[in-house]
Amino acid sequence: MDQFSSTAVLPEPFSGARDDITEQFMIIWGQIKAPLIVPLLNIAVFLCLTMSAMLFIERVYMAVVISLIKLFGRKPDKRYKWEPLKDDLELGNSSYPMVLVQIPMYNEKEVYQLSIGAACGLSWPSDRIIVQVLDDSTDPIIKNMVEIECQRWASKGINIKYEIRDNRNGYKAGALKQGLKHSYVKQCDFVAIFDADFQPEPDFLWKTIPFLVHNPELALVQARWKFVNADECLMTRMQEMSLDYHFTVEQEVGSSTYAFFGFNGTAGVWRIAAIDEAGGWKDRTTVEDMDLAVRASLKGWKFLYLGSLQVKNELPSTFKAYRYQQHRWSCGPANLFRKMVVEIIRNKKVTLWKKVHVIYSFFFIRKIVAHIVTFVFYCVVLPATVLVPEVYIPKWGAIYIPSIITILNAVGTPRSLHLLVFWILFENVMSLHRTKATFIGLLEAGRVNEWIVTEKLGDAFKLKSALKAFKKPRFKIGERVHFLEVATGAYLFFCGCYDVVFGKNHYYICLYVQAIAFFIMGFSYIGTFVPS
């Protein structure tokens, strides 16, 4: 076997040059590692462990609270007065509050009929409801189709208004704000908002409006989202796992303990007086819904979440659409935190405890720390310890805390627990995108105000055909190849190779698996995987 040595495979000059380069690299690495790399990495480990512990405490706290809520049955109708609205023989239908239903849309060719049909099918006295379609479409063909659909429902006796603007200033916030300025809205007490892919059940208003009528301190009643295409592909299953935790735990805990949570931008009913008192819709960030919710909360208004009331909607089915959505959802809250933190601190209408909750728990931990620690710690710092074994990470920080956090996050979707490993890898890769967006929001840089409407594909049949078409796109390197993900995958792969040759940690299998996940999503193939 000696005949197959490196000197036999490579000519002697090349072999010697290779050995010289390797030796020089190791000498340089040894010279800079001890005085520079080790101290910096120790600082990074300390900061990451601190953030990880903060996130762990937050998750355990919410797990305890949600367990107590379930144990003692603190249902909304026990915390707030609720009675069904009844007919008044003397007043007739005028005893019912006037409700406005807003449907903002933008080039929603695939779903406009579903959303308009669902809104027009809401059960409520016909003379006490107005359906308002706010169409910002730029495609004249789609615009004409939406207008014809509105006319069709109007011919059936539905009080539906088709409203357009000559610009898209403020995007969704601008459309909603303009919609409330019409004269017929002055007679309305409440406004229900549904994005173009949301389909409420006919009894939606009967289940929500009584809370607002009987509890004047309530500004908002928020319903839960139900995903109609969660089983479409592996990516939608992963999204469902992440969002289910938000709806089953975060929203429920916020509603039950602080009477505050972030408005999800749709599937909710607002008291119009609360919107006006909070200053109306603003377009200063890409999370106009969260902006309004925080401002209304600072005015003393309370919010109620109805986890039992579900509204059907659609998850992004393409990786491109999901990336745009996650950029907006990560960048917007960080930017809003930057703009409002001083205002929250100076506010005198809410308690100190609620201020702490909004600043620390709602914004800092969930919207900033959760993204940063997932990527920096698990995808950068931990792999770097393979290259620098002098840096020690305790087991509680590297294994126990991440495992408990993962389990607490995943229990919201028990049907997908067998996909836990895929979900961890998916979230790790997406944490890169979210961390980048978070820093953009905090620093108010580059794409801070980028607003791209999430693509909707309609019902299951349209989804299948669209996905088939998506599998054979015209190859565009900027759209299909994401260089940051590929570069991170290469870094993890290098760390794995180094661990095989020189390392003592034996993390290489985990590093290789993570690297593969980054490569897969770096080349946008995740949306084509169908779960078993």
Q: 185-200: per-residue pLDDT in tens?
A: 999 999 999 999 999 9
What residues form DSSP beta bridges with 311?
225
What residues form DSSP beta bridges with 131?
101, 160
Q: Which two tokens stand for residue 399?
A: 């294994």
Query: Given this model, what pLDDT does residue 355 score?
Result: 93
Segment 71-80 shows an average pLDDT of 85
Residues 6+ apart with CB under 8 A from 532: none
Q: Which two tokens stand for residue 198?
A: 């949301």
Report percent pLDDT > 90 for the chain: 67
Q: 354-412: per-residue pLDDT in tens?
A: 999 999 999 999 999 999 999 999 999 999 998 888 889 999 999 999 999 999 999 88
Torsion region of 241: left, alpha or beta (phi above 0 gives left; psi -120 to 50 gives alpha): alpha
Segment 286-310 shows an average pLDDT of 95
Residue 104 burial class via C-beta count within 10 angstroms: exposed 0-12, middle 13-18, buried 19 and up: buried
Query: Given this model, what pLDDT does residue 14 score?
Result: 46
- Residues assigned a catalytic role: 136, 289
Q: Where do the domains of the chain lie, and which CATH numbers do they carry?
A: 96-319 (3.90.550.10)
Helices 420-443, 508-522: axis angle to 10 degrees equals 60
Q: Distance of CA 218 to CAs 204, 221, 259, 333, 394, Å?
A: 17, 8, 9, 23, 47
Of the candidates 358, 233, 339, the one whose C-alpha atom is nearest the C-alpha of residue 287 is 339
- The pLDDT confidence band at residue 27, using thresholds 50, 70 and 90, is confident
* Maximum mean pLDDT: which of 123-132, 479-488, 504-513: 123-132
Instruction: Classify each residue of 344-382 as buried b or exposed e, where b means 16 or more C-beta atoms within 10 Å of its C-beta.
Output: beebeebeeebeebbbebbbbbbbbbbbbbbbbbbbbbb
CB < 8 Å & 24+ apart, contacts of 3-9: none
Task: Indicate whether 445 pLDDT > 50.
Answer: yes
Q: Which helix (H) or strand (E) holds 218?
A: strand 218-227
- The pLDDT confidence band at residue 482, using thresholds 50, 70 and 90, is confident
Task: Indicate whether 500 pLDDT > 60.
Answer: yes
Q: Distance of CA 437 to CAs 239, 259, 284, 329, 333, Å?
A: 18, 28, 16, 9, 10
Segment 35-44 shows an average pLDDT of 90
Question: How many whole angstroms separate alpha carbon 479 and alpha carbon 256?
Answer: 42
CB 305 within 8 A of CB 252: yes
Pairing of strands 160-164, 218-227: unpaired
Question: How many whole angstroms separate alpha carbon 519 and alpha carbon 530?
Answer: 18
How many Cβ atoms from other residues are within 10 Å of residue 394's Cβ? 11
